Amino acid sequence: MLLRHALLVLLAERPQTGYELARRMRESLSWFWSAQHSQIYPELAAMEDDGLVTVEVGDGPGPRGRKTCTITDRGRVELRVWMASEPTPRPVRDELVLRAFGAGSADPVELVAVFRAEIERLQARLDRYDEIRAEIEAMPGIDDPATPEFGWLMSLLHGIASARARQQWANEMVGKLSSAAR
Amino acid sequence: MLLRHALLVLLAERPQTGYELARRMRESLSWFWSAQHSQIYPELAAMEDDGLVTVEVGDGPGPRGRKTCTITDRGRVELRVWMASEPTPRPVRDELVLRAFGAGSADPVELVAVFRAEIERLQARLDRYDEIRAEIEAMPGIDDPATPEFGWLMSLLHGIASARARQQWANEMVGKLSSAAR
DNA sequence: TGTTGCATGTAAGGGGTTACATGATTGA
DNA sequence: TCAATCATGTAACCCCTTACATGCAACA
């Protein structure tokens, strides 16, 4: 029931169509959550059955109508309860750390290249984060947790902190592998 | 084909049974990789079919024999190629960051409690990491990437770096939420 | 006229978790 | 004798990704 709560978080802000939700997942939320439209549409239907959202059908392009989903009071209660609950621990699967663990089975020169590439990817992401951060921090009411911008900034700060930590670690790996190769 | 390479990493060190591989996944590797025995046994059989491991059946408890898996030359080549390849980006799903994003839909006091609990969980993990670190760093040849201990230390350093970064971020969240509540 | 974006759905398949199932050995 | 550990396997189910499928509107 995790996609369900991710959708409720987005719908709490304003009513949206499934297409819009899928786009926001892809474009902005994707740093910490993601889902395909093929997963979102059935879930929205199930949420309607459970009374968490109401669906309003209007005119739209294509063979089917455009369906706008609105969160119900019951949906808001469900969301508030979930927000206060402890995150269920999810198993981690990190290919890069697995490669670090298995360093003994790799060509050191090739492995250094893998880590250097990761450092560059992270740098590109950090540069992008900085741009967005400048935009968001200029917004009024950014320190008020009740505004959507607050949550946006907080999740961005997480992205920055974790990318920096990972980049530094990758850099350390490159250093150790390089000095050993010499 | 990711479980496959995780198993090859472990088998590169020494021959092992499926049970042993499952235990190591659960006990030590689980910080960055995990798999259940119900997934491991069929995968080992498939790997044998593909000539990546050989299986030796011996006496064992229970109705079936004890099967020791040994990596083949072909398995080592497969592993070396994979180690030098770029990690395929996996979608992130982080419940805690999702809660930070949706801060506006939560009771601030309850949300602070959720983040404080995470800080404590991370502290317990960091304490455990420090114990293991002391043990590993005392080992000889720890700076040689060819030894299993090197990979062990590197993955541990990743765990420490990412836990610290996450803890600091969670602390920042608590600060912002608390000052807004007042 | 062709491509991109809007808009909603279904189907097949892969990866993973949980539960079911069996049974020997070792130690409390 | 009871529990934990060793040891291997199967089955059902859930979540998710990829691909298939349809068709309008706007723009180049």
A68-118 pLDDT, tens digit per residue, is 999 999 999 999 999 999 999 999 999 999 999 999 999 999 999 999 999
d(CA B158, CA A162): 11
d(CA B9, CA B17): 14
- Separation in Å, CA A75 to CA A10, A82, B22: 12, 11, 40
| Angle, vertex CA A108, rays to CA A104 and CA A114, nearest 5 | 105
Specify the pLDDT at position A182: 77
B63: the nucleotide nearest its CA (via C1') is: C23
| Whether B41 CB is under 7 Å from strand D | yes
Mean pLDDT over residues A48-71, rounded?
94
Looking at residue B180, its pLDDT comes to 85
**Distance C25 C1' – A130 CA (angstroms):** 60
Place of tokens 């899928």: A22
Query: Does residue B36 surpass a pLDDT of 90?
Result: yes
Give dist(CA A148, CA B177) in Å, integer.
14
Task: Note the CA–C1' distance, A60 to C25, in angstroms.
Answer: 69
Confidence band (pLDDT; 50, 70, 90) for A33?
very high
Phi, psi dihedral angles at A56 (to 5 degrees): -115, 120
What confidence tier does A61 reach under pLDDT thresholds 50, 70, 90? confident
**Position A63 pLDDT exceeds 90:** no
Return the axis-axis angle of helices A37-49 and A2-13, rounded to nearest 10°. 80
Coil, strand, or helix at residue B56? strand
Average pLDDT over residues A150-177: 97
- Separation of CA A63 from chain center: 31
Quickly give A113 CA vs D8 C1' distance in Å: 40
Q: Say yes or no: Cβ of A168 under 7 A from any atom of strand D.
A: no
Rounded to the nearest integer, the mean pLDDT of chain B is 96
Q: How far apart are the first and last CA of chain A?
A: 51
pLDDT score recorded for residue A5? 98
Residues of A in contact with B113 (CB under 8 A): 84
Q: Which residues of chain B are within 8 Å of residue A136 when distances are taken between CB atoms?
A: none
